[in-house]
Amino acid sequence: MKKYTPEFPEAAQIEQELQREKYRKRYRRILRSTVYALVVTAAFAVLVATLWMPVLQIYGTSMTPTLTDGDIVVSLKGSSFDAGDVVGFYYGNKLLVKRCIAGPGDWVDITSDGDVFVNGNLLKEPYLTEKALGECDMELPYQVPENKWFLMGDHRSTSIDSRSSTVGCVETEQIVGKIVFRVWPFKSFGNVK
């Protein structure tokens, strides 16, 4: 099939202009659909991060060696936690990360050597590198009030947590979620235990 070549140069220019205009329309349509797709994807990511899986950055050393300053973690929203779970919670205007030690109604006792007993049973804590009583100004043994959680940092000698009346036990509504995954730094990428 032969291509039509007009005899008039003006007709060739008109044909070229028509081709350019078609290309512009197609380019605009593709660009618009790409921008819409990016906006929808970003909105979905924000919804997921806000409603179901908040992304948090760790500040401070109270969870060393499990989590260190600057780590970025993903949490999973929910209201059921077990002893040993690492959770993020709001304290004032700050977001803190600590480990669940005991739940509502449990009895907590801590020895001067840092051994933690929950309901009379010694807690197995393989995530600790050192045990310490730390800053504790509460009367032990202590019963955790209803709808509250007793939380402690893994760096027991420096962590300010439920052992201190400054923080105390944390209400379930204050807890953002269970920390499940570390995404930064890449060398420590994986589940948080």
80 is annotated as an active-site residue: no
Residue 30 buriedness (CB in 10 A; 0-12 / 13-18 / 19+):
exposed
For 85-126, write each residue's pLDDT tens digit: 888 888 887 788 889 998 899 999 988 888 889 998 998 888
What are the structural domain ranges in the chain?
1-52, 55-191
pTM (predicted TM-score): 0.67
CA 149 to centroid of chain Cα atoms: 19
Is the bond preceding residue 65 a cis peptide, omega within 30 degrees? yes
Active site residue 62: yes
Query: Which is catalytic among the residues 75, 98, 162, 178?
Result: 98
- In three-state secondary structure terms, 111 is coil
State the architecture of 55-191 in CATH terms.
Ribbon (2.10)
Strand positions, DSSP E, 1-54? none
Q: Given the residues 3, 22, 33, 62, select the one marked as catalytic.
A: 62
